[in-house]
Amino acid sequence: MTNTRRLTLAEIEDLSFRALVDAGTSEENARPLAVATAATEADGVASHGLAYIPIYCEHVQCGKVDGQAKPDLSRPRPGVVKVDAATGFAHAALDLGFEALIPAAREQGVAVLAVHNSYNCGVLGYHTYRLAQAGLVGLGFTNAPASIAPSGGAKPVVGTNPFSIAAPGEDGQPALLIDQSASTIAKSEVMKHAREGKPIPVGWALDADGNPTTDPNVGLKGSMAPSGGYKGVGVAILTEVMAAALTGATLGIHASPFSGTVGGPPKTGQFFIAIDPKATSDVGYGLNIAALVGSIRDQDGAHLPGDGRRAKRLRAREDGVDVNVATLEKIEAILT
């Protein structure tokens, strides 16, 4: 008996949308999140895909997210776009912000988007990917509730805090896309193992005393292991400056968890920098990106960051995605 069911991307989007609306999310807020969920499943990042829909719905119902929120956009400077997510889903706020960010970057060569009073934005690379599709180099930062301890300490002070960069290629798609958290693995992966009762590999998380653990529940009560030791902590702090300090969002040490129902809205932030390469390097950009990418692809066995997701994305458009039946049953229960 199989424990998965094959769904098309359209079916994943529709299922996500209906569940979110049934839970109390407006159609305007549910649609961009449903689209992103389907894209995330296509990329093979199941921990951030449909598995999160029951959590999103629970958070709408308990008030951690305002499903009816209306994000508010302002333009304090010509090159600066600000969006108050109004404690709603990040995806609707980012859609609104990108509508102003992209033309501003094309006109001025560079522009930034600062989002506060926000929530988990899912896979950060999904958003920088869209900037690359618009012909812009996109850099993204998002902070999260504290789960990484500083070097030499055991008490978390910063979140897994991913950053992403997407560089456009000549075919309208990213020539390369880097999307990585400051931790060895995304916290959602540890949460997924905890839900499934599976141990985690050594090096993913630490217990409350800072020691390695293979128990996901112990790790969730302790801290996430930073990627590359103290360098990972540095990346997390950099992202905290960009996504929280520069946006006026809540620091990770004060943000409520992205999991469970404890606490109100996390009010975290996102920060994006969009650069038009035509304004900074003219023809040199395309030649250099092609040479850089080529130098990696020419090596047997070498691959670029994002290659795995790209291959899965192309297959998913034709073949659909195998989805965990237990996850589907949780979502279908919301609809009944």
- Which are the catalytic amino acids? 47-48, 189
Cβ count within 10 A of residue 290: 13
- Nearest 5°: the CA angle 246, 178, 43 is 115
Beta strands in 97-231 (DSSP E): 110-118, 137-142, 163-168, 174-180, 205-206, 212-213, 223-224
> Which residues are within 8 A (CB) of 219 and not within 5 positions of it... i.e. 6 or more apart?
190, 200, 204, 205, 206, 207, 213
Nearest to 235 by CA among 123, 158, 121, 167: 158
217-to-74, 194, 205, 206, 226 alpha-carbon distances in Å: 42, 6, 10, 10, 18
CB 177 within 8 A of CB 168: no
Pairwise CA distance, residues 208 & 213, whole Å: 10
